[in-house]
């Protein structure tokens, strides 16, 4: 079988777990979009669960099977909540238009993923080697080697890649590309589902356009990099934390998945835990307070393994304490680099200094900054706290990084914007495109 078949099988295996986690969500206005959120949530749950079991000594094949079976049993044993009302269905013409837009935006990445293997450096030297090692190396070693860079990075995304490759030791690199395209499509579908609940389907279409039409988002889909899965976690956390949707478990699963996918995901896990714990304390709900720390139960085994290995993050705070003046001087320098990236293609200086960069206009940066501004000044029942916190934490890392600031910004700012854009596009689009029913007191809460 080809990687495409294995990816479809992985999506089917993830679906029951996602349905279990989304049981408490407000009813959808169209069933096919809710399936998108369910499968996406299930995939992030599989990543978090298999990553935790891998750190405990269980290879990813057995770990994924265990988590999928537990998710299926949980869904079978659960009973859906009773709904007093049924939301109005979205007109067929609008659904058809949204589906057509999603197909058009995902067509080119899908074709590219089927035709060729990913060519990005980090996919080849970071994520694919981890996928191969996840088959047997349990618990994983956080020590790097020449053919395996950054072994201290988490293994949640590589575990999914290994499953997409049929758990073969001769992994087809296209598995990472096809899986990335699936996540891209599910993100677009989830945007429509969430926006339809709180605003109008038109807001979902706008969010899809702002997300999918950005070239960097389309390039990230077949790249096999972990930035798009992390973007999915940020989006799901944003959706799950909406009090009107009523799905804190979606946010908690997304938080655990984020920490199991990338180091930056630990920021997402911390923000989600803080928000959920604060709400539980206000309600004096001990059970919800305990659940708020659920992501860290999944992340603890891996954090214990890598605690004895130095990482780039451990260099940041000493650098700040040793030279706080340098950090302050870097703030305007950081703003200058971001502004230069937002205004157009790479300059000859940058292209010559960093030949590994992909040339082209950085559309994702101005789009992300624009959505962030609209999200802050607008009014939406969604909140951009998770995406905003991720951007602020990354900006702080830029300021105190021991690496040259120019190199750090030009090699990672684009990917950081990819991680935040879907959630910010959802908040921005629903800030102004709302139905009258959704323009009550609850919608007057600032997005941040």
pLDDT band at 306 (very low <50, low <70, confident <90, very high): confident
Phi and psi at residue 381, to the nearest 5°: -80, -10
List the structure tokens of 221. 């889909």
Q: Encode pLDDT of 141-199 as tens digits.
A: 888 777 788 888 999 999 999 999 999 988 898 999 999 999 999 999 999 999 988 77
SS3 148: strand
| Count of CB atoms situated within 10 Å of the CB of 436 | 6
pLDDT band at 320 (very low <50, low <70, confident <90, very high): low
pLDDT for residue 444: 37
| Count of CB atoms situated within 10 Å of the CB of 289 | 16
Q: Which residue has the higher pLDDT, 394 or 228?
A: 228
pLDDT for residue 322: 60
For 11, 60, 267, 385, 440, the CA distances from 424, given in Å and listed in that order, are 26, 33, 17, 10, 22
Query: What DSSP assignment string belongs to 326-349?
Result: HHHHHHHHHHHHHHHHHHSSPPHH
Cβ atoms 286, 311 nearer than 8 A:
no
SS3 145: strand
- Residue 353, pLDDT > 90, answer no
The alpha-carbon radius of gyration of the chain (Å, integer) is 21
Provide, rounded to the nearest whole percent, the portion of the chain with pLDDT above 90. Answer: 54
Omega prior to 139 cis, within 30 of 0 = yes
- Sorted by sequence, the CB contacts under 8 Å of residue 11 that are 6+ apart come out as 39, 42, 43, 182
pLDDT for residue 161: 96
Helix (H) or strand (E) holding 186: helix 174-198
pLDDT for residue 446: 40
- Residue 448, pLDDT > 50, answer no
pLDDT for residue 52: 96
List 379's β-bridge partners, or say none.
446
Q: Encode pLDDT of 237-259 as tens digits.
A: 999 998 767 789 999 999 999 99
- Residue 275, pLDDT > 60, answer yes
pLDDT band at 50 (very low <50, low <70, confident <90, very high): very high
Cα 172–109–39 angle (5° rounding)? 75
pLDDT for residue 311: 55
Domain residue extents for the chain: 3-77+96-444
DSSP conformation class of 25? S
pLDDT for residue 162: 95
How far, in Å, CA of 127 to CA of 78, rounded?
Answer: 36
Average pLDDT (63-89) is: 85
């Amino acid at each position: 079988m080809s990687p495409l078949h294995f990816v479809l099988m992985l999506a089917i295996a993830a679906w029951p777990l996602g349905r279990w986690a989304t049981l408490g969500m407000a009813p959808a206005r169209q069933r096919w979009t809710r399936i998108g959120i369910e499968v996406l949530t299930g995939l992030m749950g599989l990543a978090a669960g298999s990553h935790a079991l891998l750190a405990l000594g269980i290879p990813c094949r057995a770990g994924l099977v265990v988590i999928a079976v537990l998710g299926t049993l949980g869904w079978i044993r659960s009973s859906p909540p009773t709904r007093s009302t049924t939301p109005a269905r979205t007109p067929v013409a609008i659904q058809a238009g949204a589906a057509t837009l999603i197909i058009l935006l995902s067509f080119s990445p899908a074709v590219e993923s089927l035709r060729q293997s990913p060519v990005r450096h980090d996919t080849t030297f970071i994520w694919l080697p981890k996928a191969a090692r996840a088959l047997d190396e349990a618990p994983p070693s956080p020590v790097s080697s020449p053919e395996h860079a950054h072994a201290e990075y988490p293994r949640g995304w590589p575990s999914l890649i290994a499953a997409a490759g049929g758990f073969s030791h001769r992994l087809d690199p296209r598995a990472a590309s096809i899986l990335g395209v699936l996540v891209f499509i599910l993100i677009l579908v989830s945007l429509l589902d969430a926006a339809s609940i709180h605003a109008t389907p038109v807001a979902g279409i706008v969010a899809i356009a702002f997300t999918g039409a950005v070239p960097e988002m389309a390039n990230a889909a077949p790249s096999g990099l972990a930035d798009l899965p992390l973007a999915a976690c940020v989006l799901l956390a944003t959706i799950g934390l909406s009090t009107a949707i009523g799905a804190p478990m979606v946010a908690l699963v997304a938080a655990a998945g984020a920490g199991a996918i990338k180091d930056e995901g630990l920021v997402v896990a911390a923000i989600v835990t803080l928000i959920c714990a604060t709400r539980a304390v206000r309600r004096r709900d001990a059970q919800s307070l305990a659940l708020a720390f659920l992501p860290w139960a999944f992340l603890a085994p891996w954090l214990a393994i890598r605690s004895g290995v130095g990482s780039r993050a451990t260099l940041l705070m000493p650098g700040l304490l040793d030279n706080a003046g340098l950090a302050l001087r870097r703030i305007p320098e950081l703003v200058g680099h971001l502004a230069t990236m937002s205004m157009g293609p790479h300059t000859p200086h940058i292209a010559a200094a960093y030949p590994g960069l992909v040339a082209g206009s950085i559309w994702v940066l101005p789009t992300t900054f624009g959505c962030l501004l609209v999200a802050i000044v607008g009014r939406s029942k969604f909140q951009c706290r998770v995406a905003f916190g991720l951007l602020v934490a990354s900006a702080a890392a830029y300021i105190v990084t021991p690496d040259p600031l120019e190199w750090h910004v030009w090699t990672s700012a684009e990917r950081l914007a990819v991680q935040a854009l879907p959630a910010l596009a959802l908040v921005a689009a629903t800030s102004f495109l709302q139905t009258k029913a959704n323009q009550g007191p609850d919608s007057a809460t600032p997005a941040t």
